[in-house]
Structure 1
Amino acid sequence: MPESTSRANSTSDSEALQKLLHPRSIAILGASDNPTKLSGRPVDYLKRFGFAGRILPVNAVRSQVQGLSAYRSLDEIDGDIDLAMIMLPAERTADAVRACGKRGIPAAIVGASGFAEVGGEGTMLQRDLKAAIEESKVRVLGPNCLGMIASRDRAVPTFSSALDEDVPLLEGPVAFLSQSGAFGGFVFNAAQNLGIGISHYLNTGNEVDLSVAELLDGLVRTDQTQVVLAYLEGVTGGRRLLEAARQAHERDKPIIAVKVGRSAAGARAAQSHTASLAGEDAVFDGAVRQYGVLRVDGPESMLDAAQVFATGRRTRGRRLTSLSVSGGAGALMADAAAAHGIEVRAWEESWQRTMAAAIPAYGSPRNPVDLTGTLVAEPDILRRALRVAVEHPGTDMIAVLLGCADNCAGQLIDAVAEAHMSTGRPLVVVWTGGSGRPRQRLRELGVPCYTDPAQAAAALGLLADYSLRAALPAPQRPADIDTDAARAVLAGARAAGRVQLDEHESTQLIAAYGVPCAAAHAVGSAADAVAAAAELGGPVAVKLLSDRIGHKSDIGGVRLGLDDADSVRDAADDLFRIARGAGVDDARLLVQRMAPPGTELIVGTKRDPVFGPVVVVGLGGVLVEALADSQVAVAPVDTGTARRLLLSLRGSRLFGAVRGNPPRDVDAAAEVIARLSWLAADLSDHIAELDVNPLLVGAQEQGALAVDALAVLTDVHDTE
């Protein structure tokens, strides 16, 4: 996992980042005269791909490197140097960075490996490198990285094998950041082969200084980059990543990310359900979705999406018109579209008649539109049909499905290109089989082209998700929150040396944030339990109350629906006996008025080591882990975000009218989630985890009620 140095973002940092991304002069320290060696490749690439700036090889023993004048040290070079590529062994790298600082070089790329990724002495070398960065104020990409490819400027300070062949270096609006060097090179090469123009490719390596988050921020602030692809293996500085995502969201610049580690073990389960629901990957997934980042499963999906986003087009809705040479292909496209929330609606009868006039009589004008195999003999059918599709007011996106047909490919391509130029709506082609040359030509013309309807549907689904995305949250802190009361509860537990609140204290804590809680009294004897039940009235629940018992139901520590004094007394005696059997001699009881029936949710909070305080929402009750139906967001959230979390649950249909039950009060549940998210944000130094389970959501306009709560405190040393 990458390591990142914490440093303030300043004007000089911003300027250094721009020098890295757009250098006019590049010094290569340790440059070799042999263009096949790793230390010789940067010079060879800069020459071969036509870098227009100054190429400055530094070699202590040679006066020339690959036909260029070489320098024994940086001090021999006249004029400004924007960027240094350090191709020296790991043990010499820190001193080289210090030399860059003395020479006034704002940015450097460190290619050497042998740092913290190998452990042992490498860890010490990385510490020395960090110290050199802090001393010199040079911004560093790497170490253990392949460098950068900036296509527009032909600035290629890299030794990546992705440039071994004479690739065209297609310039375009897509930037690509990768924490993996070799794999990143593979993806860059694949993007070029697909005709995707890349503005920048950067490999971040160990991220001892510059991180993906800071580079993202720098890229989205430039006019040259309109789309960012990211391949991630780990994340540090989560809040900074989200700030970069916010900037991208506001500038309408999509970030499409692959992050490995979906199957990694989640966070330690501790006493809380929340920890098991909010593992590392779940938090990342929820956080980036909240800020509009599009997460995909792998590089092929990322490049499929890049094709459609590189056009710069957006969609006004999710309605797709599909034109196909084959009825079967049209059906495949409709099924694939439905899987991604894309609608293939039958056209209105008047528009069907218009389409019918453009296609063979035995075709289908309904949508999917079947152009029939006659298209191969009469390619102009496609031109006529596309003109109708472009004019159709209920079409948000267009997909054209073709196959083989190399003999008439030129006319079909011309028809597609004409339609593509005539509209601003997204238009994609699925061309299956054949030589592959038609796909290449369409991509050269800026038309996204795929071999499988599923690829096209997934890309269009992402485009629709992004185009129709909600505004970023702007949470407003409720005015009636009583932070002093909440802190008093925490202070009492701290004074007693405890790291967990009992249910009564946990309820007091959330009540201070305006969360409605079931009426209850804490008691120390069976007699007091009987009195409390009489005061509360109606059926009651009696529960064990101890900060040393996390999940009471696991040991039979809960009795429900007690409606007379004898049953309350018997339950109390039995629960005290269970507590003593569990080694808890000072247990108390909580007597609680039974809540009306409702849909059970869990709402929890957790302090994540990368993203800070987060809120977790899921279907609750005793089967919460078995259901594993939850969503995560970074705290605080507004009620709109909270509502979207609820409606994103797989079981969200339970909030509607199901089996005669009335719809649930989703707005009340969203209000509770928002309030608990503020608790997480305000008290993140003190609360490690908090469960409200269950939160009972009643019928519409009947509210939501917290029935049980459990708070686990942070280690006292973490708050100092």
Structure 2
Amino acid sequence: MSSSLQKPLPAWYVAATQARSIAIIGASSNPAKNHYQEQLTIYGFKGAIFPINPKETTIGGLKVYANILDVPEPVDVALIAVPAQAAAQAVRECVQAGVPLVYVFALGFSEIGEEGRQREVGIREALASAQGRTRMLGPNGTGILSVRAQMVATPLAARTARLGELRDNGVAMVSQSGLVSSASFITSQQGFPAIGTSFAIGNELDLGVADVIDALVQDDACTLILCYVEGLRQPERFIAAARRAGEAGKPIVLLKGGTTSAGAEAAATHTASLSGADHVFSGVLAQVGVRRADSVAHLLDVTKVLAVYPRFAGRRFSLLTGSGGLGIMGVDSFVNHGFTLAGWAPALAQRLRKALPTFLTVGNPLDGAGDFAWGRPSLRESILCADQNPDTDFIVLAFGGMLDAEASVAEEVRSISQTISKPLFVVWVGGLGTAIAALDRAGIPAFGDLRCLGDALAASVAPRALSQAAPTTQDNAAADLNIAVPKLLESALASKSTNLDEVASKTLLKLAGIAVIEEAVAADAQEAALEARKIGYPVVMKLRAPGLMHKSELNAVSLNIKGDDQAREQAERLLAIARGQSIAGADVVIQRQVPPGLELLIGMHTDLVFGRVITFGMGGVLTEALADVQCFRPDVSFAEFGRALASLHHQKLLAGYRNLPAASVEVLWPVVQRFAALVRSLPAAVREVDVNPLIVEPGGRSVVAVDALVVLDHSSLHTPE
């Protein structure tokens, strides 16, 4: 992003990252309670510190002021370390003093329920009066860290232990957990890359995740953004901020707490967050290009990859090792994540044969035995060959033990790395850490375990880019959806039906221009046979009745009907089921039987966090068994859908397995595009839409919806009193 086109950095963000003066409201002469002043002093904050406490005169050798309004010069950041019940008054005084950023540490707000929410009212009123001139982080947080300002405005829970000189490698973090924020910062400062800016945002009463990401996107000093969240209060703003980060070339790596139902319940009590279904969360993150981590260690491992290779996209690797065992485990670690072994170009294989001892075999993994373990010349030649190999996207070096060789081999690898262009990763298993530390300092991603590297690469790798542009899609919608859809739903809503029947549901799809199976409706067996003959055998028959959603449970579907007699017989069987179950208003739906094809599904439901989301994936009778779907929002683009399609597990089926047709993105995209337009036009009373199966017909050039169900929610039509 060009600096000339950027908006100015927000005043609160400048205050947080480049603070020149800090006030501590609630400063204490008790060393056990004066964490903030202590940490600021220890880590060398160069600006002015103003302790505020009406009962003290000096604290830690600094003059104490009774009120922030008494401070004789401007204050950039006010750290409010008073009990929850006193926080609102402190914020009011900060607003009067014109402080750009206040941080409220106290617990006891929305995370404890209604009493806590009432305490927030006074804070909101004070901030509103500032009209944006004073912003707030917290409450229920642990502070801010900015290496640029040498500002450690957080308790690191250390009275005697100290970090060394703080470093900033362009990585920033925003976290809903103070401990995750501090732990990540401390760990990163002992390795590479070091987090240089960190915000523990707590309950997000004012500034939230999206605000911080937006500011970090604008800040040229930040190149990589880490997040820990338990839920999203403003999902639309988060999505917009994530997209801006992607456009600016700044990867976001996100760790989420509350991925299970029990975890989500704990998340709600921790920071009063809303947690949605985790598979939806993953799908939406992938849609907007956010990488996902599954632990703090994994988060920092992914950071290590992206800090050096922010656009890492390779999938073919060359693995060079001094141990056959490490080579085998490395292949398992990477191939299980979808990476593939690169083959050697013939000329390069010949070079390797000359470089290696005669008892070693050229392959991938390439086991160089002691030659590699001790960093002999064949290691350099092998790395150079891998760099020049056209099938190799990235190179992995795997070493182990060899304590006496750690420093020398690390230096040899550092030297070679200066001469190659492809991404290089090193794993050193069972060493003293000397090699990993040296490689970290050199900016070469180094790990202590092959699986950790495999997991980090899998989370870091950029989705496969589509090689083609979005196909031109003709709008086949029969009418203006915003007019036609409510009209179709009118009678169902008036009758209080819980769902549209199958025929009406597919009529809705036809309005959006989605091809549906040819079908007819019959009231009796004779009419069913007539309609079947018109459609052409073979046909399928299904029972239809108001409120009947799951026909297969009643054995109310008949397949492969090939003649009039069979048609009458099966229609009568279906109607007899209705009579036996006392199902009123039943009739029979007759459909053209589609030849065997690839069965997919597409649907819509309302997620707790992101609202309406689309689900797309493997369908048919094996839907639950395969459990292979991706979720995305209705504003999905062609490229985003292509990434979702490539993320499905059953790629062999999609590619045309045995006699099944292939499902290409060009053929599927028009259906997804029209379905998304339909979803955007649906009134709130439509709770779910399920199209299953959606069949790719033989030849792979057409897609037809065979069955559909629209579920209604009448409660959305009424406003609570």
The two structures have a TM-score, normalised by structure 2, of 0.89
Instruction: Give the corresponding residue for 2:413.
Output: 416
What per-residue deviation string (whole Å, max 9, x for no partner) do you get for residues 23-42 of structure 1?
Answer: 332221111123331xx111
Q: Structure 2: which amino acid aligns with 1:71?
A: Y
Q: Structure 1: which amino acid aligns with 2:81?
A: M
Instruction: Give the corresponding residue for 2:252.
Output: 255
Question: Residue 238 in 1 paired to residue 232 in 2?
Answer: no
The SS at the match of 1:417 is helix
Instruction: Give the corresponding residue for 1:82.
Output: 76
Q: Structure 2: which amino acid aligns with 1:117?
A: E
Q: Per the alignment, do residues 528 and 15 of structure 1 end up closer, same or farther by CA in structure 2, a change over 3 Å counting?
A: farther
Note the C-alpha offset of 1:91: 0.8
User: Residue 289 of structure 1: which of 286, 291, 295 is its match?
Assistant: 286
Residues 597, 661 of structure 2: 8 Å contact kept: no
Note the C-alpha offset of 1:85: 1.2
Residues 605, 691 of structure 1: 8 Å contact kept: yes
Residues 265, 279 of structure 1: 8 Å contact kept: no
What per-residue deviation string (whole Å, max 9, x for no partner) do you get for residues 434-493 of structure 1?
Answer: 322232222122222111122223333444336x55699989986333313223212332
**Higher mean displacement: 587-596 or 291-300:** 587-596
Q: Per the alignment, do residues 531 and 400 of structure 1 end up closer, same or farther by CA in structure 2, a change over 3 Å counting?
A: closer
What per-residue deviation string (whole Å, max 9, x for no partner) do you get for residues 529-570 of structure 1?
Answer: 444334434333332323411112222332333344454444
Distance 1:155 1:476 in 2: 54
Q: Structure 2: which amino acid aligns with 1:631?
A: Q
Instruction: Give the corresponding residue for 1:515.
Output: 514
The SS at the match of 1:156 is strand
Instruction: Give the corresponding residue for 2:550.
Output: 551
Instruction: Give the corresponding residue for 1:610.
Output: 609
User: Residue 30 of structure 1: which of 26, 31, 50 is its match?
Assistant: 26
Note the C-alpha offset of 1:408: 3.5
Instruction: Give the corresponding residue for 1:52.
Output: 46
Instruction: Give the corresponding residue for 1:369.
Output: 366
**Higher mean displacement: 569-578 or 67-76:** 569-578
Instruction: Give the corresponding residue for 1:107.
Output: 101
**Higher mean displacement: 188-197 or 300-309:** 188-197
Distance 1:325 1:426 in 2: 20
Instruction: Give the corresponding residue for 1:188.
Output: 185
RMSD: 3.1
Q: Structure 1: which amino acid aligns with 2:70?
A: E
The SS at the match of 1:622 is helix
Q: Per the alignment, do residues 500 and 352 of structure 1 end up closer, same or farther by CA in structure 2, a change over 3 Å counting?
A: same
User: Residue 91 of structure 2: which of 93, 97, 111 is its match?
Assistant: 97
Instruction: Give the corresponding residue for 2:711.
Output: 712
Distance 1:85 1:424 in 2: 47
Unaligned 5+ runs, structure 1: 1-9, 268-277
Q: Structure 1: which amino acid aligns with 2:235?
A: G
The SS at the match of 2:620 is coil
Question: Residue 435 in 1 paired to residue 429 in 2?
Answer: no
Q: Structure 1: which amino acid aligns with 2:69?
A: D
Q: Per the alignment, do residues 324 and 580 of structure 1 end up closer, same or farther by CA in structure 2, a change over 3 Å counting?
A: same
Instruction: Give the corresponding residue for 2:272.
Output: none
The SS at the match of 1:533 is helix
Q: Structure 2: which amino acid aligns with 1:251?
A: A
Q: Per the alignment, do residues 298 and 100 of structure 1 end up closer, same or farther by CA in structure 2, a change over 3 Å counting?
A: same
Count of paired positions: 698
Instruction: Give the corresponding residue for 2:152.
Output: 156
Instruction: Give the corresponding residue for 1:305.
Output: 302
Distance 2:284 2:458 in 1: 20
What per-residue deviation string (whole Å, max 9, x for no partner) do you get for residues 189-223 of structure 1?
Answer: 22222232112122122222222233222212211
Instruction: Give the corresponding residue for 2:223.
Output: 226
Distance 1:627 1:671 in 2: 24
Q: Per the alignment, do residues 11 and 524 of structure 1 end up closer, same or farther by CA in structure 2, a change over 3 Å counting?
A: farther
Distance 1:67 1:335 in 2: 60
Instruction: Give the corresponding residue for 1:7.
Output: none
Note the C-alpha offset of 1:662: 4.6
The SS at the match of 1:489 is helix
The two structures have a TM-score, normalised by structure 1, of 0.89
Question: Residue 146 in 1 paired to residue 136 in 2?
Answer: no
The SS at the match of 2:151 is coil
What per-residue deviation string (whole Å, max 9, x for no partner) do you get for residues 34-80 of structure 1?
Answer: 3331xx11111111111222222211112222212221112112333
**Higher mean displacement: 511-520 or 400-409:** 400-409
**Higher mean displacement: 577-586 or 426-435:** 577-586
User: Residue 334 of structure 1: which of 331, 336, 353 is its match?
Assistant: 331
Note the C-alpha offset of 1:102: 2.3
The SS at the match of 1:645 is helix
Q: Per the alignment, do residues 693 and 253 of structure 1 end up closer, same or farther by CA in structure 2, a change over 3 Å counting?
A: same
Q: Per the alignment, do residues 314 and 543 of structure 1 end up closer, same or farther by CA in structure 2, a change over 3 Å counting?
A: closer
Distance 1:204 1:160 in 2: 16
Q: Per the alignment, do residues 286 and 313 of structure 1 end up closer, same or farther by CA in structure 2, a change over 3 Å counting?
A: closer
Distance 1:34 1:190 in 2: 29
Instruction: Give the corresponding residue for 1:355.
Output: 352
Note the C-alpha offset of 1:156: 1.9
Q: Per the alignment, do residues 15 and 688 of structure 1 end up closer, same or farther by CA in structure 2, a change over 3 Å counting?
A: farther
Residues 199, 224 of structure 1: 8 Å contact kept: no
Q: Structure 2: which amino acid aligns with 1:373?
A: G
User: Residue 396 of structure 1: which of 390, 393, 397 is its match?
Assistant: 393
**Higher mean displacement: 147-156 or 554-563:** 554-563
User: Residue 447 of structure 2: which of 446, 450, 454 is its match?
Assistant: 450
Note the C-alpha offset of 1:597: 2.6
1:663-702 alignment runs, 5 A limit: 663-664=662-663, 667-683=666-682, 685-702=684-701
Residues 317, 396 of structure 1: 8 Å contact kept: yes
Distance 1:476 1:22 in 2: 49
Q: Structure 2: which amino acid aligns with 1:240?
A: R
Q: Structure 2: which amino acid aligns with 1:455?
A: C
1:522-671 alignment runs, 5 A limit: 522-526=521-525, 528-664=527-663, 667-671=666-670
Question: Residue 66 in 1 paired to residue 65 in 2?
Answer: no
Residues 171, 195 of structure 2: 8 Å contact kept: yes
Note the C-alpha offset of 1:394: 4.6
What per-residue deviation string (whole Å, max 9, x for no partner) do you get for residues 196-255 of structure 1?
Answer: 211212212222222223322221221111111222222232222222221121122111
**Higher mean displacement: 187-196 or 639-648:** 639-648
User: Residue 119 of structure 1: which of 89, 113, 117 is its match?
Assistant: 113
What per-residue deviation string (whole Å, max 9, x for no partner) do you get for residues 84-124 of structure 1?
Answer: 21111011112222222222223221110122222352233
Q: Structure 1: which amino acid aligns with 2:697?
A: G
